[in-house]
Amino acid sequence: MKKTILPVAAIAALITACEQPSQPSGETRSPERAAYSLAIHGGAGTILRAEMSPEKEAAYRAALDTALNIGETVLRDGGTALDAVEQTISWLEDCPLFNAGKGAVFTHEGKNELDASIMDGRGQQAGAVGGVTNVRHPIRLARAVMERSPHVFLSGRGAEQFAGENGLEIVDPKWFFTQNRWESLQKALQQEAGQNNKHGQLKLPDHNPDHKFGTVGCVALDREGHFAAGTSTGGMTNKKWNRIGDSPVIGAGTYADDAACAVSCTGHGEFFIRYAVAHDVWALMMYKGLSLADAADLVINKKLVEKGGQGGLIAVDKDGHIAMPFNSEGMYRGFAKPGERKIMIFREQ
C-alpha cells in the first residue's frame, strides 16, 4: 500500500472530477420496489486502516458511492443488468483512483495495457479485450466485441482497430497517465534492479501488494431477472511480455448465467485463471447446490487460500443476494438494492 497522503483539496478535486449527478438517496431505499441488485469492487489487496488517511478513505467511499448511483439508477428505472454493468464500469474506468482506464498501472515498458470483459447472463454471450492502449472505455469495447463481432476475445492492435471501426472513443495513450501509478512503476523497477543485482536473474517483485490489485468490477441483477458481470483492469504494475490477466478471461475473472449467478473477480490473476474462479463459483451452485454465499466463500477463503492465491470477488444470485468475499486485508466494495446500500473497504466494518 502506498503511503502517499494526498492533500484534502486534491482529494476534493478528484472526487469532483469523477462525480456525476447522484440521485436522491431516499430513492434507493424503498422496500416495496421490485427486486434488483448491484455490487461493485475497486480491487482487493493490502488495504490497511492504519495506512489509510481519512481523506483518502473519503475519496474512495465517495467514488464507490457515485459508481453505485450510476448502476442503481439504470436498474431502478428498469434498465438492463448489461447497461448497468457497462455504465458503472465506464465511470470507474474514468476515475483515477482505480486501476482501470485512467489510473491504470504501468507495464515494464511504461505503457498502460488494458484488459476487460463483459458477460450477459441472458444467452451467455460474452466479449473480452486484452492489451488495448488507446480505448478510453475498455468495458464498452468488450461489449462491442460481444454484440458486433463474431468473436468473443480480441487483443492488442486488432482490438484497437475494431474499436476504431465501431466508433468507440479513442484517446491518446497519455490519457491513462497518473503520477501515482508512474511512481509505483519506478519503485518496482528499482526493486527489480536490486533483486537482479543480488540474484543475477530476472524476477518480478512478489511482495509489493500494490503491483497486482485495483481492478474494477460490477455484477447486476435487473428487474427482468437477468444477470450481467463485467471486469476491467490495467493488470499488474511492471507486467511484461503483453501479459494477459484473468479480467478478460471468461470463466476466470468474469462469468454470468441467468441460471445461477454473475461473478466478477479481482486479485492475483494467474491464480484466478488456473482455478477458473468465476466459473468455479457458478459450478458449485449448479452442480453441488451450494448457496451463492457458500460457493463464493469456499472458492475465495478455502480453495484459493490453500493455493496461496490472493484476491476476492463480488457476486449476485437470482434472489439478489450479494456475496463479496476476499482473502486479502481489504477490498474496495459496495452494493445497492431497494432499501439497502453499503460501502466497505476493510475487513471489519
Q: Which positions lie near a copy of itself, rule CB under 8 A?
A: 119, 124-126, 130-131, 149-159, 161-162, 203-204, 206, 239-245, 249-252, 255, 269-270, 273-276, 279-280, 283-284, 286-288, 307
Beta-carbon contacts of 304 under 8 Å, excluding residues fewer than 6 positions away, are 267, 271, 275, 277, 310, 311, 327
Nearer to a copy of itself, 155 or 178 (CB): 155
Nearest approach in angstroms of CB 150 to a copy of itself is 5
Nearer to a copy of itself, 26 or 308 (CB): 308
Burial of 70 (0-12, 13-18, 19+ CB in 10 A): buried
Nearest approach in angstroms of CB 303 to a copy of itself is 11
- What distance in Å separates the CA atoms of residue 250 and residue 323, rounded to the nearest whole number? 19
Apex CA 139: angle with CA 150 and CA 299, to 5°? 95
Burial of 179 (0-12, 13-18, 19+ CB in 10 A): exposed
Give the sign of the dihedral formed by CA 270, CA 272, CA 274, CA 278. negative
Nearer to a copy of itself, 66 or 237 (CB): 237
Nearest approach in angstroms of CB 276 to a copy of itself is 4
Asked if 69 and 114 touch (Cβ cutoff 8 Å), the reply is no
Nearer to a copy of itself, 50 or 287 (CB): 287
Asked if 235 and 332 touch (Cβ cutoff 8 Å), the reply is no
Nearest approach in angstroms of CB 278 to a copy of itself is 9
Nearest approach in angstroms of CB 307 to a copy of itself is 8
Give the sign of the dihedral formed by CA 312, CA 317, CA 322, CA 323. negative
Conformational region of residue 272, where left means phi above 0, alpha means psi within -120 to 50, and beta covers everything else? alpha
- What distance in Å separates the CA atoms of residue 150 and residue 312, rounded to the nearest whole number? 31
Nearer to a copy of itself, 7 or 150 (CB): 150
Any idea which residues carry the catalytic annotation? 215
Q: What is the end-to-end Cα distance of the chain in Å, rounded?
A: 19
Nearer to a copy of itself, 52 or 128 (CB): 128
Nearest approach in angstroms of CB 283 to a copy of itself is 4
Residue 101's nearest CA partner among 147, 73, 140, 72 is 140
